[in-house]
């Protein structure tokens, strides 16, 4: 399961689970779009992989839940 890291590993920008600015590499290193594209030129400084947008589940309503991104909710069917 994908680990949803809450901040950019370079500039520490907040990247909540629903952020469209989060970019990840093959090994789930997490950066904001600005750092991934402008600073690192789409090459991960940790593993050498390229970046892609981090996906998230949309249109699901979770009443009365406070998200703690390090222990993201497991959806069981």
Give residue-wise pLDDT tens across range 53-63. Answer: 988 765 555 54
What's the CATH code, domain 1-56+63-77?
A: 3.30.40
**Range 18-45 average pLDDT:** 94
How many CB atoms sit inside 10 A of residue 24's CB?
22
**38 or 65, greater pLDDT:** 38
**Residues facing 53 on adjacent strands:** 23
Q: Which residue has the tokens 């996906």?
A: 55
**Residue ranges of domains in the chain:** 1-56+63-77
Tokens read off for 50:
């390229």
Contact (Cβ atoms closer than 8 angstroms) between residue 23 and residue 52: yes
CA 53 to chain centre: 8
């Amino acid at each position: 399961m994908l680990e949803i890291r809450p901040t950019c590993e370079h500039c520490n920008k907040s990247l909540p689970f629903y952020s469209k600015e989060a970019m990840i590499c093959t090994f789930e290193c997490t950066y904001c779009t600005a750092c991934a594209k402008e600073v690192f030129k789409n090459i991960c400084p940790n593993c050498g992989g390229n970046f892609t947008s981090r996906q998230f589940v949309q249109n699901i309503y979770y009443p009365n839940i406070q998200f703690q991104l390090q222990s993201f909710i497991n959806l069981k069917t």
